[in-house]
Amino acid sequence: MNATELSRRLGQQAEAVCRCYLSNGCKEGRYWLVGNVDNAPGRSLYVRLIDGEKGPAGKWTDAATGDHGDLLDIIAHSVRTAGMRETLSEARRFLSLPETPAPAARPRPSGLSGTNSGHRDAALRLWSGSRPIAGTLAQAYLQSRGLEAGAELTALRFHPGCHYRPSRDDPPGTPTRWPALIAAVTDNACGTTGVHRTWLDPSGMDKAPVAHPRKTMGAILGHAVRFGVPTDCMIIGEGIETILSLRACLPTMPLAACTSSAHLAAFLFPAGVNRLYVARDRDKAGEAAFAAIAERCATSGIEVIPLMPILGDFNDDLRQCSREAMVANLARQLGSGDEALLRKA
């Protein structure tokens, strides 16, 4: 039985495969939702559980990275197989099929975020080809979200025509070039490992009208978009807009945006940090991400403190509540020494 037939047989048992290899996810309607191919909690990656108009059962897409594939790819990543021969052997074991000689290896359908050096190189080229945000549509977009966006935000740049690959969720004729806010994803040594792209409407007042206006590229897992240099204390959160909203109230606090709830759970702690605030959204993905990182902090001896918004997330707070209300909410949650860092409204 060749790889194509094994993939089809796995698709017939897609839910069982997901429960085995993506156990931190959950079934929702016709899909299995999970954070990423590393089985992190979250909802970025979705696996189709039944055949339908949009494709056969077993096909998956990670909305955060644009990666996609089939259940053989999930198995290969889950058990860290050394090649196609081992992947097919594991698939046969799951399906209770006898071993047969493995066919020639087929190319993987897509590079997985953080494992493909070509993706990282492309991310670095995109970053190099982008320019500072001052006076651009990227600055206008951030300002429309109530965010201060000056030249000091060196982690953010603008690209006037960033390539967008339409997905099957986009209508025919979707443009493949859009202006974009480009954010550098860096490691703890300040090296750029990838980028986060937010495609923008040409008006600058909203995201581009595409199915997936935010995607990452390069090595993202464990890294973040950083504002300020970590000391013994810092704040991490999911999105760039969430973190910039907190910067409006805590301008001197080191901050890091991990780009998604799944990547938030996997953030690599900088050396010397002993107190970590986690700015979480009011949803199940934020709850799961905080639980995962709190467990890791406990084993690392790091004090971890959640920061909860008034509304759904901190950018909602910044735009819909008064600055006084936002500062008061944070003051109740920050430690006594850190409360002094708040910018009074």
Enumerate the domain spans of the chain: 3-95, 114-220, 224-345
Q: Can you tell me the distance from the alpha carbon of 245 to that of 315, in angstroms, rounded to the nearest whole number?
A: 5
Fold match between domain 3-95 and domain 224-345: no
CATH architecture of 3-95: Alpha-Beta Complex (3.90)
Rounded to 10 degrees, what is the CA torsion of 32, 38, 43, 47? -30
Handedness of CA 219, 222, 226, 228 (dihedral sign): negative
**Which secondary structure element, helix H or strand E, spans residue 48, and what is its range?**
strand 45-48
- Provide the pLDDT for residue 136: 96
Q: pLDDT in tens for each of the 345 residues of the chain?
A: 688 888 899 999 999 999 988 988 899 888 999 988 888 888 888 899 998 777 789 999 887 777 788 999 898 888 776 678 888 888 888 888 876 544 444 444 333 333 445 578 888 999 999 999 999 999 999 999 999 887 789 999 999 999 998 888 899 999 999 999 999 999 999 999 999 999 999 999 999 999 999 999 888 888 999 999 888 999 999 999 999 999 999 999 999 999 988 788 889 999 999 999 999 888 888 888 888 889 889 888 999 999 999 999 999 999 999 888 999 999 999 988 898 899 765
- Provide the pLDDT for residue 57: 92
Contact indicator for 58, 10 with CB cutoff of 8 Å: yes
**Tens digit of each residue's pLDDT (9 = 90 or more) over 256-285:** 999 988 788 889 999 999 999 999 888 888
Contact indicator for 40, 24 with CB cutoff of 8 Å: yes
- Provide the pLDDT for residue 274: 94
Among the CATH numbers 3.30.420.40, 3.30.2290.10, 3.40.1360.10, 3.40.50.300, which is that of 224-345?
A: 3.40.1360.10
Number of alpha carbons in the 13 Å side-chain half-sphere of residue 143: 12
Alpha carbon 128 to its chain's center? 22
- Provide the pLDDT for residue 40: 84
Alpha carbon 297 to its chain's center? 20
The dihedral region occupied by 150, where left means phi > 0, alpha psi between -120 and 50, and beta the remainder, is beta
- Provide the pLDDT for residue 157: 96
Q: Which of 309, 255, 250 is nearest to 280 (CA)?
A: 309
- Provide the pLDDT for residue 88: 87
- Provide the pLDDT for residue 116: 47
